Amino acid sequence: MKWNLISSPKFVGFNNYIELFKDQTFYDVLLNTFYYASVTTIFGIILPLILAVALDRKIKGAAFYKSAYFIPFITPMIVVAIVWAWIFDPNYGILNWIFGLGSNVTWIYDKNLAMISIIIVSIWKNLGYNMVIFLAGLQAIPETLNEASEIDGAVGIKKFFLVTMPLLSPTIFFVSIMTVISSFQVFDLVFLMTDGGPENSTMVIVYWLYKNAFEYFKMGKASAIAYVLFLIILGLTLIQWKTRKRWVLNE
């Protein structure tokens, strides 16, 4: 349909999809989204896993570190966005002050650094959630298996890759699927911090959908974008589901 929220909807067949695939902005937005999703997924799995392994060793103050890393996840996004906007500010931001960068690095105001800035905040905010899931997976591994592996000579890095990783693979599989899906649905961080700019450098597909629907009043095109997003997430999830038998234990 072609609908501007005011007049009556008009049937236009596949025109919304034709218009969408002819729009160069669509491909730029898609590229931004895949870039954001790939980086946040990779680091959103590796960093929490490292932290979980470290905290699973019953280090002193482990309870404090668990709480400290989890607090950002339960902090409202509006608070996170405001605080990080101050941190990234080129004139009085603490980040440039700590590293002595002055006002030369403009972070969210630079089209080459804005997406990286958004990615940093996103990874930081979700770090604690994935870490807690990995901790639960690690603590579910029977201690007898760890003891048996050490008796057989598997210690340190060798033990981690030969014993811990295979037993933790179902947890990694779950975290990877959830992280991929959530990364393609990012909206609030972009909306609050950059508004898709500068020069559309942080424009991601869900935010572009929102702008088409409620700023440009192109509900038909916005619906087409939604279906494209659905197919992308479905396709990636099916790929992960089909390949799980190659690396997930007992699948």
How confident is the model at residue 145, as a pLDDT? Answer: 80
Q: How is residue 214 written in tokens? A: 């409620």
* Per-run averaged pLDDT (10 residues), the chain, 251 residues: 89 93 95 96 95 86 89 94 93 87 87 95 95 92 80 78 88 94 94 93 96 93 96 95 87 71
Taking the mean position of all CA atoms in its chain, how far away is CA 168?
Answer: 21
Looking at CATH, the fold of the domain delimited by 15-246 is given as MetI-like fold (1.10.3720)
Q: What pLDDT is recorded for position 99?
A: 82
Domain ranges of the chain: 15-246
CB 33 within 8 A of CB 115: no
pTM: 0.91
Cα(70)–Cα(177) distance, integer angstroms: 20
